[in-house]
Amino acid sequence: PVQGQLPQKPMDNIRAYGTGLAGGQFDANAFFRKPTVIFRSIALVLAALLWFSISKGGWHRLNGSSHHQICLYGSSASTCSFASALGFFSLVGAGALLLSDARFERVSSIPTRKRIVTGDLAVSAIFAVIFLVAFFTFWSKYSSFDLDEPYSTGYAKFGILLAFLSTLAWGGAAFFAWRRYEEGAVTALGTNFDNEFSGIDGEVQDGYGYGGSSEGIGAVGSGRQISVANTSYQAGAPPSMPPNPNPMTLLRALIALLMSFQVATSGKGTVDVYGCAYCNGRPLNYAKVKMYDMDPIINTFMGKTVTDENGCFFVNGSASDLRSDIDPIINFYHKCPMWIQFGSCLLKSQLVLNSSEVVNVGLVHLTDIEVTELKTTKDCTYQRNKHKTPGLPMNYLESMHLDCEPVIESTVDVVKYRHWTFDFQIYEDELHKSSNICEAINQRFYFEKRPLSKEEEEYPLAFGLVLYKNIIQVLLELSIFYHPQNAYCITVDRTANKDFKRIMTHLPKCFKNIKVFIGKRSQWGSYGVLDNVYQCFKYLAHSKHNWKYYQYLSGSDLPLRTNLEMVRIMKALNGSINSDIDEFEMDRYRTMEGIHPPLPLYKSAMSVAMPRAAANYIVRSEKVKRLLRYLSNTWIPDESFWTSVAGNAPLLRVPGSFRARDIIWLRKHLSSNLPWQWTTSSVGTTYIGRYQVWEWQKVCMGQIRAWSCVFGAMDVAEEIRYRSHYPIEFDATSYSEMPTVELYNGKRITELTHPDWLLLSSFYRL
């Protein structure tokens, strides 16, 4: 070199943030060999596959419907939407970063290059973290997913694998972006002035700045050449830093993982399993049974069924497996023993089976502790499942396994049931805390979805109720009485707690044929009881529903007849009113003693069978309105209304009415032998609205409350069996032979088929 002159440095050896200075030509071969480009290309492909997998198989169409879909990741629509969005944004992000890499060498500003590399590092690291979280989220939600119909799992599992591989791809891109950032920070073009230019002559010659000459730049006789070390890991020459992992090796590893997944899902096997499940020596009927192929990470769903009434089941299914054999496992979802409570959760008993195409498990005793291969754990995912299969699922309260035969036959085992209790508080808490009351009710209580017969559909009934407590008991009662063709009206006592009111007032949103009012305080003996009853009665009479007969129910009634039997009984009544008939007691006048009532008063029960024509007449009658005002000042007016309206045929011509005065006279002057038992062929009474026993009428084997018998297990043998428990065809002919019906149809007292039935309005009245 010339004395006093800096040596010229070749420009291609000067690099900033992993590439040469601006102005160089684009080298495609070198570009695609860069580690960051390789990992971002992999991330781009994985993002496209993830987006496709979720849109193709992340959603399952229920029962083949194109409108109702459910996400296979825990039934969470937001999770599938998140997966699709993640795939899309990852695709866009990887493409944008690849484009910036391709144009990187054209950027001449070093600060701009630094910002690009910093952004690359940040985006890659963020995507790596997001995909890591997504991987565990997809895995967890898919593992907890439970659906009661066959569904394809390939794309959902593939999505989980893609999330894991994307974590590696974006993690690798972030790592090499960090290496490029680190290189740029250490080997920027700027150098230390004192070290690099210490050999330049500092004398000023001919007035041309520090060591310059008349020819321009000063020369240094023995100055050393300035060089910038080539430390770029992406340069063609070997780097000065320690060797890095070969990116092609990582790429081959990722491709191998993808190929292994493809191989794992290429083969299929089929398994048939049958047997019977028992609980405490009795069949475990209507229990959910599901079969899976046991895999190292996520078990593959193969098939499902429900045990029949004998506890037996048959389930078949197929699954893909890397190996030649399927490792089937059977899950039983149940509550056995029945007294074990886990809130909204069931017990899940898992039975590991042998690898075979046909497996007979024989008898599986879920309470047998010697069955070592039977693993029982708590399972909460099944109860959250919204989609039910036909049959009676085990989460319905009506499906609790109770052996009623000893109770009905009054054998020695009935004593055990006297002390049996069931804590419904967990179910009540579940209802109160639920954000979707209708869903919670339908998960626990079975309500008929359609009429059970054409006869019932063409003859709908109406029911009125007054309620104030015991929400679980009320919903059990409603679910038993409920039929979609009938009409229901409920008045809730205003003193009921707010949780009870909230659930009851929500019922019309769940069932269109139920109406709910908030009424007055229903204190016993007060007018509030009658006012609440009449409010619903009036609503039903004015409704457009085509019901035929009205009946009142309390909050603790159970039907002794099926809905079809009640329809046939009401038809046999032929438009007549059925009400209890008794004399009005003087102490009930209270402050109205000496004041003449609008109609002669009679005592009756709250329950009544009222035809629609009579209801329409009553709610429009001015005399009935005056009677209500009169009764509002009497004692226990709810027991004085129905027969006072229906038993004054000459004075109030209500359709279906009768002469209560004549019936009371006959009871005083006639006598007869009582029928020995109450059966379908011998009604034996004029009142059929409610079977009720008072404490002075017979021994109560249950409990006495408010002078009335609350039936218990010891009463069932006598009370229930008398209603013709044995499976014979129901005949409502005897109901058309009741004296009140025949009198309404025009017969004289001397022509009655059973005049002795007039003597009693209940079987045990003395």
DSSP-assigned states of every residue in 617-682: HHTT-HHHHHHHHHHTTSSSGGGTSHHHHHTBTTTS--TT--BHHHHHHHHHH---PPPSS-BTTB
At a CB cut-off of 8 Å and minimum separation 6, what does 371 contact? 364, 365
In order of 357, 372, 374, 583, the CA distances from 349 in angstroms are 22, 12, 6, 62
Global pTM exceeds 0.95: no
Render pLDDT for 194-245 as a digit per residue (tens, 0 to 9). Answer: 444 445 454 444 444 444 444 444 444 444 444 444 444 444 444 444 455 5
- Tell me, what's the pLDDT at 764? 41
Strands 374-379 and 461-467: unpaired
Please tell me the distance from the alpha carbon of residue 628 to that of residue 357, in angstroms, as a whole number: 75
pLDDT for position 632: 92
Which residues of the chain fall below pLDDT 50?
Answer: 1-14, 65-66, 189-198, 200, 202-242, 262-266, 322-323, 338-344, 369-374, 379-394, 675-681, 723-728, 763-766
Q: Using an 8 Å Cβ cutoff, are 273 and 330 in contact?
A: yes
Dist. CA 527–CA 535, nearest whole Å: 12
Between CA 562 and CA 558, with CA 567 as vertex, the angle to 5 degrees is 35
Instruction: Using DSSP, state whether 235 is helix, strand or coil.
Output: coil
Identify the pLDDT of residue 683. Answer: 63
The reported pLDDT for the residue numbered 96 is 85
Contact 503, 432 (CB under 8 A): yes
Residue 210 dihedral angles phi and psi, to the nearest 5°: -40, 100
φ, ψ dihedrals at 32, nearest 5°:
-75, -5
The tokens describing 158, both together, are: 């593939």
> Cα 341 vs. chain centroid, distance in angstroms?
19
Q: Are the C-beta atoms of residues 547 and 555 closer than 8 Å to each other?
A: no
Closest among 131, 16, 32, 35 to 85, alpha carbons compared = 131
What is d(CA 411, CA 96) in angstroms, rounded to the nearest whole number?
81
* CB of 586 closer than 8 Å to CB of 566: no
Q: How far apart are CA 527 and CA 537, in angstroms?
A: 15
φ/ψ of residue 755, rounded to 5 = -65, -25
Q: Is 172 helix (H, G, I), strand (E, B) or coil?
A: helix
Phi and psi at 111, nearest 5°, equal -60, -35
Q: Contact, 603 vs 585, CB < 8 A?
A: yes
User: What domains, with CATH codes, occur in the chain?
Assistant: 11-219 (no CATH), 268-399 (2.60.40.3330), 670-766 (no CATH)
Cα→Cα distances 672→180, 194, 398, 755, 760, Å: 110, 133, 43, 9, 10
Residues in the chain, how many?
Answer: 766
